[in-house]
Every structure is written in C-alpha cells, then in structure tokens.
A and B are shown apart, each in its own frame.
Chain A
Amino acid sequence: MMHKESGRPAKKQVTVTINGKKCPAEEGEILLGVAIREKIAIPHLCFEPSLDPYGACRLCMVEVVKRGRKEMTTSCTLRAAEGLEIVTDTPEIVKYRNILFELYLAEAPKSEILKAMAARYGVTKTRFLKKLEAADTLDNKCILCGLCVRACNEIMGAGAIGFVNRGPYTLVGTPYGEPTKDCFGCGACVKVCPTNAVEMEDTGDTRIMKSWNGTKVPLSKCDCCGEFFAPKGLATAALARVIPSLKEEIAVLCPACRGKRIAQEEIRALSGGAGHHG
C-alpha cells in the first residue's frame, strides 16, 4: 500500500493496549507519543518528538509484557507493535516513580513546574537533601534532561552548550562558563526546557541568553516598523538556505511587517495598483 500524497509506503497500522484501552498506532511509533495523543497521562521530562528517544528522565516507565514476563521500561523508547500491552500505574511503578520525583525535587528545588507535576502524582515533599547553589546559572531549576543540549546540537547544529563534568557534578553550560560566540540566540533551548530553567531576554538590539553566562546576540532591525526581531547570526545562517527572491525581504522585515506587505501587495495586484501605502 502506498501513501496517497507522499508516494512512500504507508506505515502499517497496529493496535496497542494502554491500561486496557485499545489505541490505534503506526507500527514503530513511540508509545509515549501514542499515550499523549490518547490523552493518557504518563509523566515525562526529556521527551521531544523532534529528537531521537533519549530515555534519561526515567519518569515515563510503564509495565510491558515481553515474552510472557512483566517488565518495566521507558515508554519513550518503546515502539508500537501489534498486540503490545502496557500498564501505566502499577503499584511498583508508583513506588519507584515517587522516589524519582523526590530526587527531582531535591535536584531542582526551585522549579515550580516540577513541584506542580510531582504534586499531581501525590509527591509534595522530598526526604533528600535539596541542592541549592547560589551560583547556579540555571537557578536550581535544571534537571539535566538534556533537551536544550540536544536541540542546540542536533536541531540547530550550533553546539553552543553542552554537558560539563559527569555524574552528580554534571551541569549544562557553555565552554569554560564564558559567553559563547557559537550561540545563534535562536531560543530553542528556552522553548524545549521542561522546567523553565533556561532564560533569555531581549533588550533593544541585543538578546541576552541569561542562562548561558550572559551570552549576547545582536538582533536585526525591521526596516519597516523599526522593531528588533530575529537574531542576526541566525538570520544569516537561515538565509543561506532560502531561495534568492525571498531573501531580501526576509532579511530586513520582521514577520509581522512581512505579512502586512504581502497582504498589501496582494490587494494592490487585485485592485490594479491602487493599494494603501504605509
């Protein structure tokens, strides 16, 4: 069977069972993704559909029956297959997951998102020593899920940030803890961070990556409205891939002004050149 639009062979449709509910899925699809689509709650912190499965946060553990044996595994690394059956909240999973939540609450005690998430699963305090460091550039909110590092490396290809040290001393940062020139200022790290630990701020013509040791990125100014919009470096990198005819206006106009201009040109064309100027 071929897929109508793309011409690629369509993925085989299978049925998986989550907590007794039959759910349709594509063969090989990540189980956590299926659960999210089906609105079945499985807590998770390091999952991002645009990146390869990573399996680091360990919260999305589910019970699966494999070769007749019950096994605990992360649903973000589990692939859909016909007849696959998982259960999300066995007493065993709840027991371990609660300890993991407590470990997270101790690791990132200032993250409100994390506190709210843990509370949804009944964990409101931790028996473990809280890590509170005044000098933490991520304000004691980072849980080292690695999403920012991977977005920066694997999606943006910038590699501006990485893991530093290892084991319990691991942290995310720029090389030598200094501002870095490799940062595009794209903000993907801010966007993917599950605990809102990564912060940036635009002031005038500069974007300040607050979490990355004050890395500063210059912004482009819109020729039309005068607002600062895209980071200059990012624009240059992106424009290298854009067809020449589009290049000029993308480079100088912010998305809002560009939208406006397209609309105006459309009107002008339709009305024989008598468009509004402004």
Chain B
Amino acid sequence: MKIVSAADLAAAQETGMQKIRPDRPRIAVGLATCGIAVGGNRVYERLQEIIEKEKAEIILTKTGCIGYCKEEPLVNITIPDKPLVILHKVTEADAEEIVREVSNGKVPEKLALCRVPSWDHITGCNIEYGKGFTKIPLYAKVPFFAGQKKVVLRDAGLINPEDIDEYIAVGGYAAARKALTGMDSEAIIKEVETSGLRGRGGAGFPTGQKWRITRDAPGERKIIICNADEGDPGAYMNRNEMESDPHMLIEGMIIGAFAMGADTGLIYIRAEYPLAIQRLKLALAQAREYGLLGRDIFGTGFSFDIGIATGAGAFVCGESTALVASIEGRTGRPHPRPPRLTDIGGGLWGYPTDLNNVETWCNVPVIIMNGSGWYAKIGSKGNTGTKVFSLVGKVDRVGLVEVPLGTMLKTIVSDIGNGGANGKHVKAVQTGGPSGGCIPLRMFDTPVDFENLNKAGSIMGSGGIVVMDEETDMVDIARYFITFATGESCGKCVPCREGLKHALLILNRIMAGKGTKKDIETLALLSDTIAATSLCGLGQTAPNPVLTTLAYFREEYDTRVKP
C-alpha cells in the first residue's frame, strides 16, 4: 500500500490505533537493549508460551523503552477502557500471574509501577486509555517521571517500534506530509530556524542555519547524514531513540531532505548497536513499502531514500570529517576544516553534506507539526526544546531523562535521580562524556544548557550525565577518561597522540603514589597544551576531565603526591 493522500494516512492511522488500543487486552514487553539485558526476552517468551497454552485472548507485542532503566524489565498492560498500566521489575516467574490477571480484566497490582489514563503524543494524538485501577499511582506522580517533559521520547516505550502503523497512529508522518505537500524549502528552513533548534550532538550549532548553508551550497546534488555514532561512555540516548521510535528519525530526515533538496540520506551508526540497526532496517523497509521513501513521495514528485552505513568501532568517527572518511572507505581520521562538509568538495563523495545527530533529526517532526512558536516556548532563551540525558553512574534512579534545556542540574540529579545510590552523597557529575568535565556539587544550580555547561568547564556533549558519589576517587575518574581518550585518539596530531599518552603515564604515577607536585604542574600544563593545539574536537576536549578535576578537586591530587 502506498500512502499518498491524507485519507491514506488516516487509514493507516486507524489500523495503527487498533493495534495500540485493541478490542482485547494487550501486553507489550519493553524490548530495547536495556530491557533485553535484564531478561525482557525471557519474560516475552514465557508470556508467549503461557498465552498459547491457555489460548488466552491476549495480544502480546513489544515496545521500546520508556527510560526508567532502574525498574526494567517493564511491561505495559492495556485493557480496553482501562488506563495503561506499566509493570516493573518483571521476571519470568511473574508471567503466569500476569496472564491470569489480565485474562480477568485485571492487573497484578503489586507489580504495577504506575497507570497512564491518557497520553498526549503531542503531534495531534491524545490517547484516552480509560479510567480505573485507582490504587496504582498515576504516571505523573512517579517522581522519576514527574519532572520530565517528553517531546523526543513521546512515543518511546508506548508504541511498537517495529510497526509503522503504530507510529502513524500517534501522529507519525503527518509532519512529513504537511511539509512536503504544504510548505516549500524556505518555509521549512525558516520554521526550523525560528524554533531555535540547536545540534544535539554536542556542539549546539543552529540546525536551521546548517540546513540553509547546505541548501545554498553550489552543486546540483546534496546529501544528508544522520550521525548515530554515539560513543560516549555512559551515553545511550540515541540508541534508545532509534530502538524505541525509529520512524521519528526517518520522518525528520525526510523533511530535512526535502528542505535541502537532498536525494540521498545515510544513517552512520556504530556496529555496536545491532538492535538499533535491525530496527532501522525494518523501519526503512516499511517506510519504502508505504511509499514514504523512494520515488514520488506523497505524489509530490520528490524522491528520497535512506541507507545505513555502519562504523567499525572508532570513537573519532563521530567527528564530521572522520565520519565522512569512514563512510567513503578511508581511514577514520579527521582533517582540518575548511573544507567543511557543507562545502562543495568537503562532503560525502564531494557533495555538500548536512550532518545532524539522531536527536536533532528527531526534533524536526514536532517542530513542523506544532510550529516553531510552540517549540520555542520549551526550554530557555537561546536553548529551546528539550534534551534527553542518560543519567547513570552512582545515582539512585538510573535512566533516560528528558527535560527542557535550562533545567537545573540538581533537578535532574536530586529530584529526578533521587541523589546517590544506596543513600550515599553525590559529589560531582561528569557531563558530556569523555570530552566533558566534572562539575562539583556546589555548582549544581548550573542550568543545563550549552553556554552554562561551558562556563562550568564542561560541555553538553551528546547528553551523558555520570554521577559520582562520596566514594568516587576523582583522580581515578580523570584517569579513566584519559585512558578512554588515549585509546580512541586517531593518532594523527601530536598533542592528542603523544600528549594524552604522557598525561595517562603521569596519572598512573600519581595513582600509584609515586607522583610529585611537579607531576601535577606538568599534567596541568600538558592538558592545557592538548586542549589548545589539537587538530579536532576529540583532542581539544579530551583533557577536560583532568582540567576540571584539577580545578574543583585539587586536594584529591595533592594528598596523593609526594611534596
């Protein structure tokens, strides 16, 4: 079936809604990588076995992840005219009880995390599930969820990511249709510009401006790329965005391609994300089948398709020029810019190329659908919209958190994350992965946005927040990140290749109790040099963990060295 008209889209929406709210109970197991890792697949298989054996009138399906990693495996129960109920920490042993209760129109309340009477998928679809189960806490009352604002993750953990109909049911591809049939390139780019959307890969470059530069670059052919080479330790926002809602990314890319006049899109994804790759492939095939990719999309004459290119496990390939080199089959080493990707001769195969992060693309459909005015009201001035963070490390409530930009760090760590795990005190957080810095507790009133994190000596990065508690050794943390950066340095320029190596040797010496005061001075000077003189962003930001721990936790270094 090809979707061309509004009626075609409405028909698919109807089909999808019957899958999300069927006329019989539905059990959906959270099967993103995180859910699978803690036994989600075993729960799914056991449920399947029992449902088949009992010939129960229950639809069993899968969903993505709603982000509450600590409570996995999560299982959603939808009983007609009742609220959607999310069960947590479900094991195979619970399967029989679940099937029995659900068959009787009930849910096992002791397993219930919360109930969702209605859910606003924002882009014109507000699902009213129903009333009842009043003993189960409301979704909005669960502290982990209460402080969040789900925009990018609005479907994650609620729809089946392997079924395009469910995405269409909650308003999917309506933005693409609106853009392609009712807007021209200029109008779309204007909308993205006025929304204030900035690149979610870390640098925060205005997305609309990048699109304009690409569109206006000389050359007949343009290419767009999605950067899905997420590699920061402790960061997995993009993985979940792709695993839980792959069509949102595809829709964003369709809109971008139309605006920039690109005929080819590529998703550069790390090979370490096999499930995301599998779901993206499936999603691309489904989108092609519906005519949402390929020739003459929505009957507009616009043709566009997306391919997948996998990385081979090099962190530096997230850097734009190294990424292009990797796709072209060359060694993934950065080169000095200009030429930038958007320049003719600088992009993929020489064509002007636009590169955006997964989450940046995922923000596009909602901006087009609800308008830039709606979007710009979220977040703070100059930092509009939400950002997804992976809140990990020694924090009580580990998970994916989506909040408006400009939210205080302490809101994320203390209110949503509930502070340190096992009642320990939080000492610092590392934002922005190995290129970020450690921000001490006394600075937790820092608003989390691009500029304020920079002021604190850290960076936004792709959105990892690693929490450290009172027992964390900050020198060891610095050593950990420098070890990572040393291993991931491509080896092209001397400050990064040799400088990081010697920084690591010095840190090892200090950790072994053999360091001197002079070593600390050398480490500071060396880190400063690496940051100032490296060729690409990897080297320029790699010393940040050392520089910030030296600035904020100097005493931990001093007590370790000989005078």
Q: Which residues of A contact B (CB under 8 A)?
A: 53-58, 61, 72, 74, 77, 92, 95-96, 99-100, 103-104, 106-107, 127-129, 143-144, 146, 162-163, 165-170
Contact = CB atoms under 8 A, between A and B. Distances in A.
B532 A168 contact: no
Contacts of A128: 498, 502, 505
A100 B495 contact: yes
Q: On chain B, which size bracket covers the interface?
A: 20 to 34
Contacts of B335: 54-55
Most chain B CB within 10 A, of A72, A146, A167, is at: A167
A61 B522 CA distance: 21
B308 interface: no
B34 to A, nearest CB: 30
B502 A100 contact: no
Nearest to A165: B491
Contact of A57 (B314, B494, B502): B494
A129 B314 contact: no
B529 interface: yes
Contacts of A106: 498, 502
A55 B493 contact: yes
B283 interface: no
The 3 closest A-B pairs by CB, nearest first: A170-B491, A167-B489, A168-B501
A276 to B, nearest CB: 56
Contact of B493 (A53, A58, A92, A165): A58
Interface string B461-481: 000000000000000000000
A103 B498 contact: yes
B533 A72 contact: yes
Contact of A96 (B314, B493, B533, B535): B533
B494 A168 contact: no
Interface centre among B487, B494, B534, B535 (most CB of A within 10 A): B494
B502 A129 contact: yes
B320 to A, nearest CB: 15
Contacts of A53: 336
Interface string B517-558: 000001001101100111100000000000000000000000
Given A100-B494, A170-B497, 9 more contacts: A56-B493, A57-B493, A58-B533, A96-B528, A96-B529, A99-B529, A103-B498, A103-B502, A107-B494
A168 B533 contact: no
B331 interface: yes
A195 to B, nearest CB: 13
B489 A56 contact: no
Given A58-B535, A61-B533, A99-B526, A167 B495 contact: no
A66 to B, nearest CB: 13
Contacts of A129: 502, 505
A146 B336 CA distance: 15
A92 B528 CA distance: 11
Question: Which of B335, B493, B528 has the most chain A CB within a 10 Å cutoff?
Answer: B493
Contacts of B534: 58
Given A58-B533, A72-B532, A103 B495 contact: yes
Contacts of B492: 56, 144, 146
Nearest to A162: B331
A83 B532 CA distance: 25
B486 interface: yes
B546 to A, nearest CB: 15
Nearest to B493: A56
B500 interface: yes
Interface string B316-340: 0000000000000001000110000
B490 to A, nearest CB: 5
A182 to B, nearest CB: 17
